[in-house]
Chains A and B, each alone.
Chain A
Amino acid sequence: MTTLTVAFTLNGKPVSLDVAPADRLLDTLRYQLGLTGTKEGCGEGECGACTVYLDGLPVDSCLVPTFQMTGRRVETIESLDARSLAAFERCGATQCGACTPGVVMTAWWIREHPDLLGSHTVRELMAGNLCRCTGYDGIIDAVTEAVGGEGRENRKR
């Protein structure tokens, strides 16, 4: 199989590497670059465990072919400040942790774009991140707290 050379910006730094045509961004990150914070759950875009930012928007890296990355900007959970997790600990928003990197990526994106909450609820924006443990309320509370709202308010919905 032929390889392709792909150069992009990863977590603020330029990277250039040879990949196989069928490699998914998720595989490249985990197995070639050793960034194992990004998890694989379903491999079909349903669960959001593999969420990364592509040019600033959350995407499922299991559905992104690496060959499309030339010239693009990719950020992974490794780029986030560990403090991004404080609200998650306080609100019981993480249990087994399988979903947590993806959940935190989407949550942090909402935090960085509070204007989105003019048109969307936290729940709608978090709908692409499945969690089998927490029952979601803890997650919604943590995100709401992180964007500066009152966590418990959301429980009414």
Chain B
Amino acid sequence: MNVLLPDTLPQALELLSQNGDAVPMAGGTDLMVHWHVRPEAHQHTFVDLSRLEALKPLSWTADMLVLGGLTTYWDVIRDERTREEFPLLVDAARQVGAIQIQARGTWAGNIVNASPAADGVPVLMAYDAIVVLESRRGREQVPLDRFYSGYKQMRRRPDELIVAIHVPRRRYSYQVFEKVGSRRAQAIAKVGLAVTRSDAGWRVVAASVAPTIRRCPTVERLLETGAAVASPSDLLPAIAQDVAPIDDIRSTAHYRTRVMARLLYHDLRDFWGK
């Protein structure tokens, strides 16, 4: 195992460009799990991000909330303004593990870890977040809903870091985050759902029901067009278009589909057919 300890972002980007298979380390809450019994996990060169102070703060501009590349869940939970303007970020953050994880885990780490069951990604996607990537070759911005191409496949080259996440400020007339797990804390989602409505339209984002977290365009269209929906089962054809749940250790495809239909039906009962 080899560790590189850059003090600044340019140093970190230089090290990543020189070490093609180096792994960035942020809060370590994904990378360090079962660390002591997985010696094979040590067989990398790690680039430690923890000294890159410039990536830590969360900030506001006139038209967006900017999460840094190292902003943690706890940073967001403690930010009064985020609680007011982007309450789903706080709802989701409070459901990630527990305080010990929230204090260390970062939003960027959640995006790059790319778990289909992540909690940070769906709420960011429902707010149309944009991922800002930087490498020595320059910067690029990728909308989060176009970031993933398959299970753990994403539009990030190995020499790129997420240096910021932009969340456009809008007036939301409806927003909800749902996480169904085995217990309330320290549990991974069997089904996750983030729904928002703004001038930009409806966003329906589902987690744990496909190889990646993704928007549900067919369900969104039902909401936009005011299609009549009289029961949860009326939603099943649209859900089947949008997601592809599987049976795994946490749940079954059948359960996931039914729960997603019921959550959508009941949460949005004031909007179906309107």
Contacts and interface: CB of A to CB of B under 8 A. Distances in A.
A124 B35 CA distance: 27
A68 B48 contact: yes
Contacts of B104: 54, 59-60, 63-64
Interface in B37-55: 37, 39, 42, 46, 48, 50-51
A37 to B, nearest CB: 17
Interface string A13-31: 0000000011010010000
A71 to B, nearest CB: 8
B186 A43 contact: no
Contacts of A1: 1
Interface in B1-25: 1-3, 5, 25
Q: How large is the interface on B (under 10, 10 to 19, 20 to 34, 35 or more residues)?
A: 20 to 34
Interface string B157-194: 00000000000000000000000000011100000000
A21 B42 CA distance: 9
A24 B25 contact: no
B244 interface: no
A48 B186 CA distance: 11
A127 B48 contact: no
Interface of A: 1-2, 4, 21-22, 24, 27, 43-46, 48, 51, 54, 57-60, 62-65, 67-68, 70-71, 106, 120, 124-125, 127-130
21 contacts: A21-B3, A21-B42, A24-B32, A24-B36, A27-B36, A43-B34, A43-B36, A44-B34, A45-B29, A45-B97, A48-B98, A51-B100, A54-B103, A54-B104, A62-B32, A65-B25, A65-B48, A67-B5, A127-B99, A128-B97, A128-B99
Interface of B: 1-3, 5, 25, 27-29, 32-37, 39, 42, 46, 48, 50-51, 74, 94, 97-101, 103-104, 184-186
